[in-house]
A and B are shown apart, each in its own frame.
Chain A
Amino acid sequence: MNLQEMLKTAVADPPPPAIDLDDLTRRVRRRQVSTRWAVGTGGLGLAVAMAVAAVGLAPLDGGAPWQPESGATQLVPPVSADPRQELLAARLTAQLRELGPEFGVPAGTVFTVERGEWGAATDGYWYVARWSSGGVQLAIIVRRALIPLEDGCAKNGPDMSCERTEGADGSVNYVVTEGAGAAPSRQAENYRLDDTAVMVTAAGGTAFTVEQLLTLAQLPGWSLVG
């Protein structure tokens, strides 16, 4: 048997495809809508930021920076997140406050809005709270993200294990442990049908189990809907 025949034999009896064109079409359309929304919002934000920067930085005649006249109010507003984002961050902070003492969240910990990395959030932003408890660095990241297509998870290596599970409601969870010994990194992710993804990470200690992190990630309060 030559190589061509071997390859053809290897793919001779494929199982029924797990590919649903209708489902893929729906996903693409949803993604296109959210991308358009993000581009529109981003473009508007960029225009506002440039306008604000231009007013603030434009030198006057002779190169002297602009100063408001005595008694006049400052025209350049402070740079801040979109009011809607601030509202969402405040709502997530309220949920953070409700966590029990087991997670050791310091009183001043709040959610802030950050630019998402790697295009990981469909709208480009994520909401993050970070704190330290018992020497373990904890972080919760809430972002808009679609449920991943892959139905597997890890190619578990010698230093990393990953497990994917599906909830009864159709949500998808991943729990990952990386590193061994006294200072592993543990992570739980919860992808929801409303396109919210919650990632909880505990790095540098064994004080939190992945089950605890997953329970935390699954709290309904971490939602970006509404």
Chain B
Amino acid sequence: MPDDSDFREYVTGRLDQLRRTAYLLCGDWHAADDVTSTAVMKLMRHWRRIRELENIDSYVRQVLLRTWLDERRRPWRREWATAVLPVRAVAAADRVVDERLAIMGHLAALPARRRAVIVLRFYDDLSVEETAAVLGCSTGTVKSQTSRALDTLRAALVPVPETAEEAAR
């Protein structure tokens, strides 16, 4: 049986981050686990080649992203985006949950590549160049996609007042 200890060590160390990135892309933890599992299997199949790469993390993100894009192309996975998302004022106690739901909803409404750009740049903290490398596109494309995605999010993410008094001001 081949020794896969370095593969396991690598994956174990990054599984949590990969799952979270996948969740932001998929919007669903079950789907995120599926995508992450498939990506891990792809990595394992080619690990002997991948382990020699200079920037393994970038390659792994690329695999995860492509896996997610492939999954979305499957007929039974096609998404049906809703045009309007509910934005409502909530009590302070619900605020964190509501913000979480709101950002996930607004992310889900973005086209796939723009969503990927936002997740890679603002969650994974990648530079424009690194994001372009993962997405396989030019830095100009990353910049324009980022700009458009941010415009959409800015328009959608209406600040919710903290308190009733603040709301009344």
> Do the two chains belong together in a single complex?
yes
Q: Which residues of A contact B (CB under 8 A)?
A: 1, 3-4, 6-12, 14-15, 17-19, 21, 24-25, 27-28, 31-32, 149-155, 157, 160, 162, 176
Nearest Cβ distance between residue B73 and chain A, in whole angstroms? 12
CA distance A157 to B125 in the complex (A): 35
Residues of A with C-beta under 8 A to B30: 18, 151-152
CA distance A98 to B94 in the complex (A): 61
CA distance A150 to B122 in the complex (A): 28
CA distance A4 to B119 in the complex (A): 9
CA distance A155 to B30 in the complex (A): 13
Closest to A7 in B: B123
Asked if A14 and B19 sit within 8 Å, CB to CB, the answer is: yes
| B31 in the interface (beta carbon within 8 A) | yes
Q: Give the contacts of B113-139 with A (CB-CB under 8 A).
A: 118-119, 122-123, 125
Q: Which residues of B contact A (CB under 8 A)?
A: 4, 8, 11-12, 15-16, 19-20, 23-24, 29-31, 33-34, 36-38, 40-41, 44-45, 71, 75-80, 96, 99-100, 103-104, 118-119, 122-123, 125, 150, 153, 157
Nearest Cβ distance between residue B108 and chain A, in whole angstroms? 11
Asked if B153 and A3 sit within 8 Å, CB to CB, the answer is: yes
Residues of B with C-beta under 8 A to A154: 76
Asked if B44 and A155 sit within 8 Å, CB to CB, the answer is: no
Asked if A7 and B76 sit within 8 Å, CB to CB, the answer is: no
CA distance A155 to B78 in the complex (A): 6
Nearest Cβ distance between residue A17 and chain B, in whole angstroms? 6
Q: Which of B8, B76, B119 is in CB contact (< 8 Å) with A162?
A: B76
Asked if A149 and B78 sit within 8 Å, CB to CB, the answer is: no
CA distance A6 to B159 in the complex (A): 12
Residues of B with C-beta under 8 A to A24: 37, 40-41, 44
Asked if A27 and B24 sit within 8 Å, CB to CB, the answer is: no
The contact sample of 6 A-B pairs, CB cut-off 8 A, is: A3-B150, A6-B99, A24-B41, A25-B44, A32-B45, A149-B34
